[in-house]
């Protein structure tokens, strides 16, 4: 993965947590919350998604994912199913409406990704390395690495 791609991945993650950027503008968040959209995205990308897999991927508690999945079930965006070989575990899959949200979310991300990739073309490789370090440190700070740990890594 090149430096611009790494910068972009971190930047989008930071931006998603601070602002719903294009989602609201494109009407995706009129009836559904951003966390619900990301849960739908996780379900759409995961093989046999269950509460545990989704919570691990999204960094949320299993109880939180259970609440989100209940809302998505009530909105008809996902459905439950069981594997014939494993009647104990409950999995989720997207309904037609959920697939529409998933596709719209991907479309928005692809549009934003293309815009940012074009933006990063204005920077040299050295500048991209510095930008990547900057955003990595912000990301680490926001997601649990203390500044003490950051100092030790330098």
CATH number at residue 32: 1.10.10.10
Does the predicted model carry a pTM greater than 0.75? Answer: no
pLDDT for res 148 = 47
For 139, the token pair is 């990301």
**Averaged pLDDT score across all residues of the chain:** 84
By CB atoms closer than 10 A (0-12, 13-18, 19+), residue 73 is middle
pLDDT for res 26 = 56
Higher pLDDT, 33 or 1: 33
pLDDT band at 127, cuts 50/70/90? very high
pLDDT for res 22 = 53
Classify 86 as helix, strand or coil: strand
Between CA 114 and CA 110 the distance in angstroms is 6
Q: Which domain holds residue 124?
A: 3-153
Domain count of the fold of the chain:
1
pLDDT for res 21 = 53
Between CA 106 and CA 111 the distance in angstroms is 9
Angle at 27 between CA 48 and CA 13, to 5 degrees: 55
Between CA 101 and CA 124 the distance in angstroms is 36
pLDDT for res 124 = 96
77 pLDDT exceeds 90? yes
């Amino acid at each position: 993965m090149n430096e611009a791609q790494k910068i972009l991945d971190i930047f989008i993650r930071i931006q998603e947590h601070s602002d719903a950027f294009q989602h609201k503008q494109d009407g995706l968040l009129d009836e559904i919350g951003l966390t619900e959209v990301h849960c739908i995205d996780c379900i759409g990308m995961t093989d046999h998604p269950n509460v545990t897999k989704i919570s691990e991927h999204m960094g949320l508690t299993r109880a939180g994912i259970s609440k989100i999945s209940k809302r998505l079930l009530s909105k008809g965006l996902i459905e439950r199913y069981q594997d014939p070989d494993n009647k104990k575990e409950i999995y989720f899959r997207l309904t037609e409406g959920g697939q529409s949200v998933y596709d719209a979310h991907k479309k928005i991300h692809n549009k934003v990704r293309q815009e940012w990739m074009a933006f990063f073309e204005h920077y040299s490789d050295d500048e991209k390395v510095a930008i990547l370090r900057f955003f990595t440190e912000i990301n680490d700070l926001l997601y649990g690495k203390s500044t003490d740990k950051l100092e030790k890594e330098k």
